[in-house]
A and B are shown apart, each in its own frame.
Chain A
Amino acid sequence: MEFQIFGIGILTWLVFLPIVGMIVVLLLPDKKSNAMRWTAAIVTGLQVILAGVIYAIFDRAKVGVNDIESFQFVEQFSWITVEAVPWVGRIEIEYFMGLDGLSVLMVMLTALIGFIGVISSWNIEKMVKGYFALYLLLVTGMMGVFVALDFFLFFIFWEVMLLPMYFLIGLWGGPRREYAAIKFFLYTFVGGILMLLTMLALYFSVAYIDPATGQSVHTFNMLHMMNPENFVEGSLLFGVDTTWRYVAWMALFINFAIKIPLFPFHTWLPDAHVEAPTPISVILAGVLLKLGAYGLLRINFGILPDATIYFVYFMAALGMISIIYGALCAMAQDDFKKLIAYSSISHMGIVVLGIAALNTQGMVGGVLQMFNHGIITAVLFLAVGVLYDRTQKRGLYDFGGIANQMPRYTGIAVVGMFAALGLPGLNGFVSELFSFLGAFEAYKWITIISVTGIIITAAYILWTVQRVFLGKTPEKLETLKDLTLREYLAFTPLIILIVLLGIYPAPAIELMNASLAHLVEFVTAGGN
């Protein structure tokens, strides 16, 4: 389906609007802080509207995944073409974007979280221009990764996120921000290099025959990479279940596992979360972590299905370890932000376990969990931010009896906490249930052990609620004020979604059901 605004495709608008905003922000005079804030808000607001348009007209029946015909909003242009090089054939890099059930939900999430991040950035006073310019660049990178269908393009967007994130943590963060920023940068960069090498190996292994000219064309087009027939005989990644394919899978997996983050690649996350300013934590947990899981689905599952099947137990086991380990670590924290960081590791473990099940139920659960976790952690980080703004403290033992002083705030925060806990009726429950159901079909014991993670989660969340919101208010906290209008604005859409998707998750599930069912079929068939 074509959908254009002023002759430019909707996805291009979606991805590059923030860049336009960034340029405007950079051109504004230094003193006009408010104009910069409004620019960022308008740009990300427009993204939300565009995402809404996409939601309205997205065709739920089309599958996508490996079939170009059933992708939607496709934009495909030649970007770099070098004609017939004698020893490699034609070289092709495309500007190729499109949406299918895998990515559409993530695009919505990115638009929403991006907008909410701007609202919660309103009180940033330090170097406003630099902050919003980097922020908008980051949003472009995230959005780009979700819509790119050319590996090269995917990679560019992936790496574009690094530098803004480094500065956003390093310049606007807490006391140990420098350490956290370089740690984040380093971990992700290692992954990036692994992905670069694998991408090149894939590129040289894949060539399709251009029907028009009969030339053999090397391409970064992911859909061509998904077709086993396009692997050139004798090339590095040719064949099924070869060692090099396992190596390639592993390299990609490590890259994505760092981003998710899965145990044992998770150590950057608590540092980054603790030091990052609130809106950046929201972005980090809300969107950035999802990039990893999305990459697994799109690239590892799609391009190397045989290796995926080979490693699927390994993935499930890592998912299990992350669930338990993350939950246990969360229990041990007395820093509010660190607690949420570890709970993110635990919840992302559920995503990995769900998609490793390789059945539709588990996959739907996993992808829905990505979306839900994005919403829930955004609420939690915003909630910490509210307290931090007022008291400059984050320690769990610094608080108590907040419910007396800030009843409305407590209500909202507790909804978020309970959603994270997986309370039926809120969205976290639905996706966790699906994930575990799917996983149980595939791996009984792993799932049984994993589910105990839920109990630990319940424990640390209830304990946190008790320590922070209940009990007697310490004297120094008696002057706390309840939420401001801006804070309501940030919380409201998220809370609505938490409740809505908890009661009636169909609008989200129907977006991706067809695609995920097809992906399952594709992967399970691809291994044989």
Chain B
Amino acid sequence: MIEHTLHSISQFYPEIIVVVTLCVIIIVDLLVKNGKHTTGWILLGGLLLAGISVIMQTGSNLAVFYDMVAVDPFAVFFKVLIILSSMFIVLFSMKSSELEAYSSRYGEYYMLLAGMIFGMLLMVGSTNLLMIYLAFEMVSISSYVLVGYMKKERRSSEASMKYIIYGAVSSGVMLYGLSLLVGITGATDIFQVNSALAAGVGESFILNISILMIVVGMGFKIAIVPFHFWAPDVYEGAPITISAFLAVASQIAAFGLIVRFFSISFIDSGGVTATGTWQIVEGLHWDLLLGGMAALAMIVGNLTALRQDNIKRMLAYSSIAHAGYMLMGLVILAGEGLTSIMIYLFIYLFMNLGAFYVAMLFSNKLETESIEKYKGLGFRAPLESIAMTIFLVSLTGLPPTGGFVAKLYIFGAAISGGWIWLVTIAGITTVISLFYYIRVVRNMYFFEAEQGALQLKFDLPSKIILLLLLVPTLLLGIYFEPLIEFARSSIAMFGG
């Protein structure tokens, strides 16, 4: 028993490093009160170490802590993404002037961030219903606090409050669904759930209800329609760094969890067909349900984004739409669908973080998030505006940017699975999305800068961070073979 635990610990370094970092941050925060980003640098260092230890896990495929957590290529892929995006968020936070008003509480901020990252790392590896719920709550609770971090600002507190209420209800519903599932199958381990279902449980009505409830909880996390109502308000109220973190890292972790949970629990592992899923669970057309949700998310997200003037709100709706595109991959629960989700997430990380980052840079200088106020910025901040244009074009999905490759693969998966109607909706909504993305570009370039408006100057580190996001966005549009190989070799799940 001790041996097993010791062995498990040796496979658990990334998470341990993050927890240790968290503790160090608390201690340092007590000792050093200088209003600087000392704790941020510590977190960055911790993340770097965690990242290295994740990469060293490449190739292992096993379960640790009595099948609570899996360490497999699938988890490694998602952990790499989570750590990468977290590192960017830490860098963003150091450049954010929004947070400077609360500089005495930096330690708190980075500590909560570390807690959230820890939860996410667990989320993508969990193979036990209990563990899934714990990881889920770990992320949620940290994020509630982070959203309300700017406590002197009304909108921030309001956002936090909304988030808590929505979040509490939906995770309650999910918990109820999970407990029903445990009741029916008598197991908390998702492999055992799977075999119990395969043997036939005969309670298909309750089973369907329980899965629906779980879908509600998880759908909330990725802000899929109709569980998306929190997203715009929360994104608008939260500090922009946290909005970006929720839109990217939280999305990545939630997709990791959803994909693993559904493809292991409910799929007949003996026969994953090209299109076939859900053979075990009878009653509802699950693929149709998910497809419908994806379609709704694309339609609602893109149409509502058209009317937004606040860049954060617009990006919130655009994130909803992108969640819809990714959900198309889940409808085809075969290898193609999953690979395309992973490719999408990887590219989405760079382009969406990029858009949020430029929005943050602009709001640092202009103290506004209104797209209308972006008029003439193309001439006042040339590099940043070009970068913003590229990120937005990539989010639209035009070549030669990474966003195109992401769309190509997800559309391809849907077409090869025979979901022509779904992919048609995706195509139409992509055209719609052009409008609101290009509106930002139009405002930046097609209007003269106001009289007497000064050039916006950004320091060198800001520009370097920008390039770190920009170069992959462009490069992935031209040469993406390594990414495909990486995603393809990472779909191996423990016991899958």
A contact residues vs B (CB 8 Å cutoff): 79-82, 85-88, 91, 155-156, 159-160, 162-163, 166-167, 170-171, 177-178, 181-182, 185-186, 189-190, 192-194, 196-197, 200-201, 203-204, 236
Contact = CB atoms under 8 A, between A and B. Distances in A.
B411 A196 contact: yes
A160 B335 contact: no
Interface in B413-470: 415-416, 418, 420, 423-424, 427-428, 430-431, 434-435, 438, 442, 445-446
B335 A178 contact: no
Interface of B: 274, 334-336, 393, 398-400, 404, 407-408, 411-412, 415-416, 418, 420, 423-424, 427-428, 430-431, 434-435, 438, 442, 445-446, 479-481, 484-485, 488
A87 B334 contact: yes
Contacts of A159: 398-400, 404
B336 A156 contact: no
Given A85-B335, A156-B400, A196 B427 contact: yes
A189 B437 CA distance: 13
**Interface SS, A side:** helix
Given A171-B445, A182-B438, A200-B408, 17 more contacts: A80-B479, A91-B484, A159-B404, A162-B398, A163-B393, A171-B446, A182-B442, A186-B435, A189-B434, A193-B428, A193-B431, A196-B408, A197-B423, A197-B427, A200-B412, A200-B415, A236-B418
Contact of A82 (B407, B416, B484): B484
B411 A200 contact: yes
Contacts of B399: 155-156, 159-160
26 contacts: A80-B479, A80-B480, A80-B484, A159-B404, A160-B399, A163-B398, A167-B445, A170-B442, A170-B446, A171-B446, A177-B446, A178-B446, A181-B446, A185-B438, A186-B431, A186-B434, A189-B434, A190-B431, A192-B398, A193-B431, A196-B411, A196-B427, A197-B424, A200-B408, A200-B416, A204-B415
Contacts of B485: 82
Closest 10 CB pairs of A and B: A193-B427, A156-B399, A204-B416, A80-B481, A159-B399, A200-B415, A200-B412, A82-B484, A178-B446, A87-B335
A524 B478 CA distance: 37
Contacts of B416: 88, 200, 204
Nearest to B427: A193
Given A82-B481, A186-B434, A170 B415 contact: no
A141 to B, nearest CB: 10
B490 to A, nearest CB: 13
A18 to B, nearest CB: 15
A31 B268 CA distance: 67
A156 B435 CA distance: 21
A194 B398 contact: no
A155 B404 CA distance: 11
A203 B398 contact: no
Contacts, number: 82
Contacts of A197: 411, 415, 423-424, 427
A236 B336 contact: no
A196 B398 CA distance: 11
A201 B423 CA distance: 11
Contacts of A91: 484
Nearest to A152: B408
A94 B427 CA distance: 25
A80 B335 CA distance: 19
A279 to B, nearest CB: 19
A197 to B, nearest CB: 6
A200 B427 CA distance: 12
A483 B30 CA distance: 79
A193 B430 contact: yes
Contacts of A193: 427-428, 430-431
Nearest to B424: A197
Most buried by A among B412, B424, B479: B412
Contacts of B480: 80
Contacts of A85: 335, 488
A486 to B, nearest CB: 29
A197 B420 CA distance: 9
Contacts of A162: 398
B488 A82 contact: yes
A368 B479 CA distance: 37
Contacts of B335: 85-87
A192 B420 CA distance: 17
Given A170-B446, A189-B431, A197-B424, A87 B274 contact: yes
A178 B412 contact: no
A186 B480 CA distance: 27
Contact of B442 (A87, A178, A236): A178
Most chain-B Cβ atoms within 10 A of its Cβ — which of A82, A163, A166, A193? A193
A204 to B, nearest CB: 5
A160 to B, nearest CB: 6
Nearest to A178: B446
B132 to A, nearest CB: 28
Contact of B434 (A86, A170, A171, A185): A185
Nearest to A191: B431
Contacts of B434: 185-186, 189
Contacts of A171: 445-446
Task: Name, among B398, B418, B480, the residue most crowded by chain A CB atoms within 10 Å (CB to CB).
Answer: B398
Contacts of B423: 197
A177 B442 CA distance: 11
A420 B376 CA distance: 42
B304 to A, nearest CB: 19
A94 to B, nearest CB: 12
Nearest to A244: B420
Contacts of B336: 87-88
A160 B274 CA distance: 33
A395 B488 CA distance: 61
Contacts of A196: 407-408, 411, 427
Contacts of B393: 163
A186 B430 CA distance: 11
A187 to B, nearest CB: 10
A91 to B, nearest CB: 8
Nearest to B439: A182
A15 to B, nearest CB: 13
A200 B428 CA distance: 16
B394 to A, nearest CB: 11
Contacts of A155: 399
Given A156-B399, A163-B398, A200-B415, A194 B427 contact: yes
